[in-house]
């Protein structure tokens, strides 16, 4: 029987590419999203992949949303924690609300989704978690103390989850993308983006597909011995 995956933020950007790559790998996909109903509707009409609206920062909504997915499609085997937001500003200008929202969505969402799904994976002896971190969680970024902290937290969360899941056949890995050509990066001012691209050794932004293919591998049967890792997919921009 086909594996069932939930991709948070799975209806556009990197998440859309991940949903399609998993579907192409034979997985039954549920694409979660936060608020863009029109984009989600268009995505479902175009792909046939069911979309589910809930806020990943809301603990109960994640429990309810995952229960609905399981009722519709079957038990959840794969979770891709991709949903993310930015609320940039220097520390001096950043509000507590901007700090709190970014931590609750980007990092809190991973906890909420794991709480909703870990017990079932443990019971069935198989599971895959992939968290989408960021190069800015590895290296930091001016104007992003909230986002860098959340993404860095995701990398630590992943290693701890990997240790807890290992003996139950559950792996947990993170992908740390560099700058990928999506709406999120389109919001970066052109002059700032040009300076960023100049620092990428391969000389271009990444494509959402290049993240999606890495997710498809890490969630496959073949990747059972890979757990607790952070895979950098960044065109060589940051190596360590
Ligand atoms: P986009 O802004 O294009 O898409 C974000 C997705 O997350 C949307 O589907 C959005 O849903 C969903 N989302 C946002 N908040 C919530 C929420 N509270 N609950 C549920 N879903 C939510 O982002 P990208 O595709 O660019 O980024 C995807 C991930 O990759 C993020 O975690 C981002 O931090 C990370 N990343 C991106 C990089 C890049 O260069 N683009 C670089 C490094 C990391 P909706 O459509 O309803 O708004």
Residue with tokens 């809301």: 58
- Residue 106 pLDDT > 90: yes
pLDDT digits (tens, 9 = 90+) for 135-155: 999 999 999 999 999 999 999
User: Ligand 1: residues whose CB is within 6 Å?
Assistant: 8-9, 11-15, 32-36, 39, 55-57, 82-85, 105, 132, 134, 177, 179-180, 182-185
Distance 167 CA to ligand 1 centre (A): 31
pLDDT band at residue 227 using 50, 70 and 90 as cut-offs: very high
Is 179 an annotated catalytic residue?
no
- Domain 4-233, what architecture? 3-Layer(aba) Sandwich (3.40)
Average predicted confidence (pLDDT) for the chain: 97
- pLDDT for the residue numbered 187: 87
- What is the residue extent of each domain of the chain? 4-233
Q: How confident is the model at residue 164 (pLDDT cuts 50, 70, 90)?
A: very high
Question: For residue 86, which atom of ligand 1 is closest to its CA?
Answer: 34
pLDDT-derived band at 188 (thresholds 50, 70, 90) equals confident
């Amino acid at each position: 029987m086909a594996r069932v995956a939930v991709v948070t933020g799975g209806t556009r950007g990197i998440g859309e590419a991940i949903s399609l790559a998993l579907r192409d790998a034979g997985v039954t996909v549920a694409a979660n999203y936060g608020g863009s109903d029109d984009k989600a509707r268009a995505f479902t009409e175009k792909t046939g992949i069911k979309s589910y609206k809930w806020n990943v920062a809301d603990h109960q909504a994640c429990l309810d949303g995952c229960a609905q997915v399981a009722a519709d499609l079957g038990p959840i085997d794969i979770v891709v924690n991709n949903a993310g937001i930015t609320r940039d500003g220097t520390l001096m200008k950043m509000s507590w609300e901007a700090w709190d929202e970014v931590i609750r969505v980007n990092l809190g969402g991973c906890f909420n989704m794991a709480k909703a799904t870990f017990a079932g994976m443990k019971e069935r002896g198989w599971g895959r978690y992939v968290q989408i971190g960021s190069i800015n969680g590895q290296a930091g970024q001016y104007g992003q103390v909230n986002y860098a902290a959340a993404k860095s937290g995701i990398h630590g969360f992943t290693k701890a989850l990997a240790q807890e899941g290992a003996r139950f056949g559950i792996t947990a890995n993170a992908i740390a993308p560099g700058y990928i050509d999506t709406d999120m990066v389109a919001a970066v001012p052109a002059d700032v983006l040009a300076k960023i691209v100049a620092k990428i050794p391969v000389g271009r932004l990444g494509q959402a597909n290049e993240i999606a293919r890495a997710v498809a591998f890490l969630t496959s049967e073949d990747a059972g011995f890979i757990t607790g890792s952070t895979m950098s997919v960044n065109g060589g921009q940051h190596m360590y």
